[in-house]
Structure 1
Amino acid sequence: MIKVDNLSFAFPQKELYKNISFTLEEGQHCAFIGTSGSGKSTLIDILMDPERYLFDGRLEMDPTCTIGYVSQFSQPDKTKETTVFEYIGEEFIKIQNEIQSICTEMETSSDIESLLEKYQLALDAFDAMDGDDFESNINKKLNLANLMKRKDVRVSDLSGGEFKLIQVMKEMLSSPDLMIMDEPDVFLDFENLNALKNLINSHKGILLVVTHNRYLLNHCFNKMLHLENMELQEFDGRYIDYNFSLLQTKIELQELAIAEHEEIERNEIVITNLRAVATYNSEASRGRALKARVKFQERLETRRIKAPFVDIKQPIISFGMDHELEDSIVLNVSNYGVAFDELLLENVNFEIKSTDKVALIGANGTGKTTLLREIFKNNHDAIEFNADAKVAYLSQLQGEMLKDSNTILEEFIDAGLETYDEIRSYLANYGFEGEIVNQKIELLSGGEKNMLQLAKVSASKANLLLLDEPTSHLDTYTQIALEKAIEDYKGAILMISHDFYSVVNGMDYVLIIDDKTIRKMSIRKFRKMIYASHFDRDYLETEQKKKAVETKIELALKNTDFVLAKVFVDELEELIKLL
């Protein structure tokens, strides 16, 4: 068991945690969630190397506890010739070779005794790692992730998504006491995401996974850690049940808040009346009554409900346009092709109209990002824009569009905003408030950098948005705000995404890469294809009903009709049981 008790920690410019506590126990698969920049990755660093940090509180962990770790930023070493099998089994092969080397040495050496001792130590280490079955265990994991065909491929030839899965397998194979993964799902295509789900669900040890991916959250975890506004809440159960619990709490708190507000208003009227009386009647008793009422009002104000987990401030994302195009073609791609070491795309033809919202879909490594980048740079004969098109681009390689050495404020000096006050006011909508605007971009989390890119895209007032994995690193609250912004936008969007919630909720149709070219697919057909691969037959219909009921609850709460909201909550509970 790992136990954190009343832990507090702050950087010089920002307080992260205030007396947070939680435990991780055998068999728990724990999702670690929270808004971008709330300190999830820092808490992981503290767990992995507590000696590096000066924190208050206690961290109890067996000193022999082994930790496996998969970073969100891992990349394969392109210079190595290692195969997938050799990479996953590196530690096993190393000991296996050591045992073989000792055996060879014993054939000619006279110092048999010391060699026998080394031989036994190596055998014990190999046995402790379940070495006899390591080849079989690697094959099982490769089969689970549908990557058996890549077993003898060089690691340097893998796509980024495939390498992430291989890394997960490598860490799991060493059977650590605690396995930590920081956003392992980022940029994974649908098939690789499903493979990651299978790997997570097959793991027997303690898992702590930072993720904002709604598919994984709904299907992989039996415990939640939610970090928000310096506080942490732990919940034993599924993500879908945790959200339901938050919704119930939200209704109760809003009911209490309205009752408190009414009480404060009534008391304010009494104070006003007492002050009016005190102006012409100076009796001591009148003054005491007024003082007593003012103190009572102060107590009511300090008692106001504070809800860090149900009252999360969503960013205000809004895409506007300087110049709206009439119903016309904004982008035309004709007979496009691209090749590097091998042919990626050929004979690609499509057009996008001025109000089309289009998802560009395909497996990892099929050329989506290359195509989108070339469209943005507009340096290919096959790519043609409308003369009045104004293009904005969000890159999955955040350093491509953001300068790390800039402060947040400096990044927006040429973004079309007139004054520093205007920039500050604009950035506050995207969650960058106060002194954080003077922070260097290199110090921001992945989610904060993507948020900054969205703010720049929005400020451009473009009528064609090219978005490459815009939901990556974003917390679920920001993902939903982005979906709303896309729904309200009147221009054209071409978006690469592996988050099928964003695709089915916001796109008009899909361009899917298939056999090195692109074909058009309706959202209805795409949804059917994806859900057939990932869900039970009735899952989609039930999930859509769930979303409709949640919308009804939000409307009821907006109208402060708590009786109706609770009726819908009962209906929602029944749907959640089906999911």
Structure 2
Amino acid sequence: MLTISNLSFYFGGRPIFDGANLQIKPKDKIGLIGLNGMGKSTLLRLIVGEYQPDAGNISKAGDCSIGFLNQDLLSYQTQDSILAVAMQAFERENYLQIEIDKVLHEMEVNYRDELVDKLGHLQEEFDHLGGYTIQSKAEEILEGLGFKTEELHKPLKEFSGGWRMRVMLAKLLLQKPALLLLDEPTNHLDLPSIQWVEKYILNYENSVIVVSHDREFLDNVCNTTVEVTGAKLVSYSGNYSYYVEEKALRSEIQKGAYENQQAQIRQTERFIERFKAKATKARQVQSRVKALNRLDLIDDVIDATARVHFKFKFGVNPGRNVFSLENVSKSYGEKVILKNTTAIIERGDKIALIGANGKGKSTLLRIIAGDENVEGERKLGHNVNFSFFAQHQMESLHMEETLLEELKYADGGKSDTELRSVLGCFLFNGEDVFKKIKVLSGGEKSRVALAKVLISEANFLLLDEPTNHLDMQSVNILIQALDQYEGTYVVVSHDRHFVSQVANKIWYIEDYQIKEYPGTYDEFEQWQEDNKKSITNAPQPSVNTSSQNVKKVDAPANKPIANANTIKKLEREVAEIEAKITELERQMALLEGKLADPAVFTDNHALQRTNSDYELVKMDLKQKNDLWEAKMLELEG
């Protein structure tokens, strides 16, 4: 369908591609991967003809139509409704509709047989193309991408860049090109929309090339992985997980071949050096020299997996309860975000806040940070020092400063050597540290902002979409850094691999309440899947359909299908909750004793602090008792 042969392309004298080859077959689902700056987006632009190769060629079949979703589309604006923009995909159908309307209008004033014939032909083609269903198709895709029905007739211009990108994606999907090129399609999607796009691409009858740093997305949609490395295109016949295993195997083989060749070269060079002065060995020496010159050198394996070690230090350690909300409500006009919700963050919690866009995740982070006014009580714990990373913080970087100078704003106590070490962990090496912030890409600025947060000595981090604009290597660095971080954090992210690696609790907002799942993301997904299966497999209501009346019999309550693993897991969770309740009751008794102590009772500052700790433990105990009761009911069920 499309063949890339001996492709070479240079940018500023640097080879982006040098003799690269790739064949794209019908129904291929290709994940295009590689470090930032290696040429992934450049390859897509070469395929669509925006760039011209310096050598080699890109040939495609005559009927190979191409659709290209790229970040440039973020700037597209119009007063047309998002439904109308999406329906621009149906060029022929829209043309026929206009012609049909013209004929119908003309027939109202000048009815003629030839107009009837023309109308018949137009309507026949329109019907054959499915013209009567194009609006419903567009509505289905837009709603699958997260738009509400009442939003479909709003002008595109009213939506943010991320939502406009979704409309352009919908338009491309409706066009159904033979080759669909997607450059970071998940950057502006929430988790439900990402999962919807995954299903759509899996069922897409044509070919797809997708550039993404979302490992799970690539695993779920791709049957081929192509790595851009060393100015070449290296293919692996499987998804991303297959690529990781296969590359490790290939690297091991290549490493062995490289070391064997190097040993052979050293042996040959020693022979040449030893006998080059002996006339009797002249022929053998010359033979060895020629053999070395003819040798096709094997490259050494470059390990692109960055391993980092952070030395985190806190000025002070926080108390047991880092943060709490009690009966908190938040709304914007008629839009309710939270209503009388309560939550506690304990020391050591690694919380991932997940869910669809518009549910209030970023709002909740701002509430925790104190940047939003709320009804109810918001309380930061004792000795808590927090740092907040959000996308707008990239804009607050000092554009005229160097990277090294910028990090000093976060912590003036570290030496230049220590700061350079931190920047090295975030892939800024050598002279990079003297670059000015203004010349960095979006991903590089994001890495600098993250580095500032991580060296701030905060014992509580708030991270809003920290993996946006990061390549896989940078995401891996962030995962390693958070794994070594001994403080507490709340992270908002739609990157499922990232969340599965960094979280020990899951928060989500449902019915205006903060809900908590006390486990990892993988366990949370399994729990959701089990719930869906239990609902699907529950007995359905029986219906009496006699001619006299129709009476519905209430269905029995949905009960989960119990199995040994589920029961064991529930029993383990109940035991863990009971242990926490015992500990909290012990703390309550100690605090009650303190409150009765005259030394505390007569010290107003000590009394306030002890009373505050008592109320937090009391609230925590109530939550744990409620959770224990719910788990016991679930276990008995």
429-438 or 365-374: bigger deviation: 429-438
259-268 or 181-190: bigger deviation: 259-268
Q: CA deviation at 1:210?
A: 0.9
Q: Normalized against structure 1, the TM-score is what? A: 0.74
Residue 499 (structure 1) aligns with: 495
Residue 547 (structure 1) aligns with: none
407-416 or 14-23: bigger deviation: 407-416
CA radius of gyration, larger in: 2
Q: CA deviation at 1:419?
A: 7.3
SS of the residue 1:68 aligns to: strand
Residue 341 (structure 2) aligns with: 348
Residues 386 and 215 (structure 1), Cα distance of their counterparts in 2 relative to 1, 3 Å cut: same
Residue 82 (structure 1) aligns with: 81
CA contact (8 A) 1:187 1:498 kept: no
Aligned positions of 1:530-549 closer than 5 A: 530=528, 532=530
CA contact (8 A) 1:357 1:506 kept: yes
CA contact (8 A) 1:463 1:491 kept: yes
Instruction: State the alpha-carbon separation in 2 of the partners of residues 245 and 116 from structure 1.
Output: 64
Residue 358 (structure 2) aligns with: 365
Instruction: State the alpha-carbon separation in 2 of the partners of residues 453 and 297 from structure 1.
Output: 53
SS of the residue 2:299 aligns to: coil
Instruction: State the alpha-carbon separation in 1 of the partners of residues 508 and 146 from structure 2.
Output: 21
Residue 212 (structure 2) aligns with: 211
Residue 222 (structure 1) aligns with: 223
**1:305-324 residue CA offsets vs partner (Å, 9 max, x unmatched):** 3346xx32426363623425
Residue 330 (structure 2) aligns with: 338
116-125 or 392-401: bigger deviation: 116-125
The residue type equivalent to 2:476 in the other structure is I
Instruction: State the alpha-carbon separation in 1 of the partners of residues 312 and 352 from structure 2.
Output: 20
Instruction: State the alpha-carbon separation in 1 of the partners of residues 209 and 371 from structure 2.
Output: 43
Residue 604 (structure 2) aligns with: none
**1:162-220 residue CA offsets vs partner (Å, 9 max, x unmatched):** 76555433212112232111111125333222211111112112211111222222221
Residues 15 and 436 (structure 1), Cα distance of their counterparts in 2 relative to 1, 3 Å cut: farther
The residue type equivalent to 1:59 in the other structure is I
SS of the residue 2:45 aligns to: helix
CA contact (8 A) 2:462 2:491 kept: yes
Residue 526 (structure 1) aligns with: 524
Q: CA deviation at 1:494?
A: 1.0
Residues 416 and 292 (structure 1), Cα distance of their counterparts in 2 relative to 1, 3 Å cut: farther
SS of the residue 2:462 aligns to: strand
The residue type equivalent to 1:500 in the other structure is R
Instruction: State the alpha-carbon separation in 2 of the partners of residues 226 and 478 from structure 1.
Output: 17
CA contact (8 A) 1:181 1:208 kept: yes
CA contact (8 A) 2:318 2:459 kept: no
Instruction: State the alpha-carbon separation in 2 of the partners of residues 420 and 516 from structure 1.
Output: 47
**1:443-478 residue CA offsets vs partner (Å, 9 max, x unmatched):** 655544433332222332322221112233433343
Residue 300 (structure 2) aligns with: 306
Q: CA deviation at 1:496?
A: 0.8
CA contact (8 A) 1:106 1:112 kept: no
RMSD (Å) for aligned C-alpha atoms: 4.7
CA contact (8 A) 2:89 2:172 kept: no
- Correspondence 1:248 to 2:233: no
Instruction: State the alpha-carbon separation in 2 of the partners of residues 492 and 372 from structure 1.
Output: 14
CA contact (8 A) 1:161 1:187 kept: yes
The residue type equivalent to 1:30 in the other structure is I
CA contact (8 A) 1:48 1:67 kept: yes
Residues 493 and 479 (structure 1), Cα distance of their counterparts in 2 relative to 1, 3 Å cut: same
225-234 or 161-170: bigger deviation: 161-170
Residue 512 (structure 1) aligns with: 508
Q: CA deviation at 1:29?
A: 1.6
Residue 481 (structure 2) aligns with: 485
Aligned positions of 1:350-429 closer than 5 A: 350-376=343-369, 378=371, 380=373, 382-386=377-381, 388-397=383-392, 399-402=394-397, 408=403, 411-412=406-407, 414-416=409-411, 424-429=420-425
Residue 134 (structure 1) aligns with: 134
Q: CA deviation at 1:368?
A: 0.8
**1:200-253 residue CA offsets vs partner (Å, 9 max, x unmatched):** 112112211111222222221122221124332123333333333212212323
Instruction: State the alpha-carbon separation in 2 of the partners of residues 442 and 130 from structure 1.
Output: 51
Q: CA deviation at 1:17?
A: 2.5
CA contact (8 A) 2:319 2:382 kept: no
The residue type equivalent to 1:184 in the other structure is P
**1:75-130 residue CA offsets vs partner (Å, 9 max, x unmatched):** 6989857264x443245474355224421453378899999999899879968965
Residue 552 (structure 2) aligns with: none
Instruction: State the alpha-carbon separation in 2 of the partners of residues 410 and 508 from structure 1.
Output: 35
CA contact (8 A) 1:334 1:383 kept: yes
Q: CA deviation at 1:495?
A: 0.6
Residue 578 (structure 2) aligns with: none
Aligned positions of 1:260-299 closer than 5 A: none
Residue 456 (structure 1) aligns with: 452
Residues 446 and 370 (structure 1), Cα distance of their counterparts in 2 relative to 1, 3 Å cut: same
Residue 66 (structure 1) aligns with: 65
Identify which of structures 1 and 2 has the higher relative contact order when contacts are C-alpha pairs closer than 8 Å and 6+ apart. 1
CA contact (8 A) 1:36 1:448 kept: no
The residue type equivalent to 1:233 in the other structure is V
CA contact (8 A) 1:161 1:189 kept: no
Residue 95 (structure 1) aligns with: 95
SS of the residue 2:317 aligns to: coil
Instruction: State the alpha-carbon separation in 2 of the partners of residues 533 and 57 from structure 1.
Output: 54
Q: CA deviation at 1:41?
A: 1.9
401-410 or 327-336: bigger deviation: 401-410
Q: CA deviation at 1:484?
A: 2.4
Residues 371 and 98 (structure 1), Cα distance of their counterparts in 2 relative to 1, 3 Å cut: same
Residue 466 of structure 1: which of 451, 462, 471 is its match? 462
CA contact (8 A) 1:336 1:345 kept: yes
The residue type equivalent to 2:186 in the other structure is D
Q: Normalized against structure 2, the TM-score is what? A: 0.68
Residue 23 (structure 1) aligns with: 23
Residue 577 (structure 2) aligns with: none
Aligned positions of 1:43-192 closer than 5 A: 43-50=43-50, 52-53=51-52, 55-61=54-60, 65-72=64-71, 80=79, 82=81, 84=83, 86-92=84-90, 94-95=94-95, 97-107=97-107, 130-135=130-135, 137-138=137-138, 141=141, 154=154, 166-192=167-193
CA contact (8 A) 2:426 2:474 kept: no
CA contact (8 A) 1:271 1:293 kept: no
Residues 123 and 29 (structure 1), Cα distance of their counterparts in 2 relative to 1, 3 Å cut: farther
CA contact (8 A) 1:139 1:148 kept: no
Residue 559 (structure 1) aligns with: none
Give aligned pairs, total: 526
SS of the residue 1:179 aligns to: strand
The residue type equivalent to 1:496 in the other structure is V
CA contact (8 A) 2:366 2:372 kept: no
Residue 627 (structure 2) aligns with: none
SS of the residue 1:240 aligns to: helix
Instruction: State the alpha-carbon separation in 2 of the partners of residues 121 and 21 from structure 1.
Output: 47
Q: CA deviation at 1:401?
A: 4.6
Q: CA deviation at 1:18?
A: 2.5
Query: Alignment identity in percent?
Result: 25
Instruction: State the alpha-carbon separation in 2 of the partners of residues 440 and 20 from structure 1.
Output: 34
Q: CA deviation at 1:288?
A: 8.3
Residues 181 and 30 (structure 1), Cα distance of their counterparts in 2 relative to 1, 3 Å cut: same
The residue type equivalent to 1:416 in the other structure is D
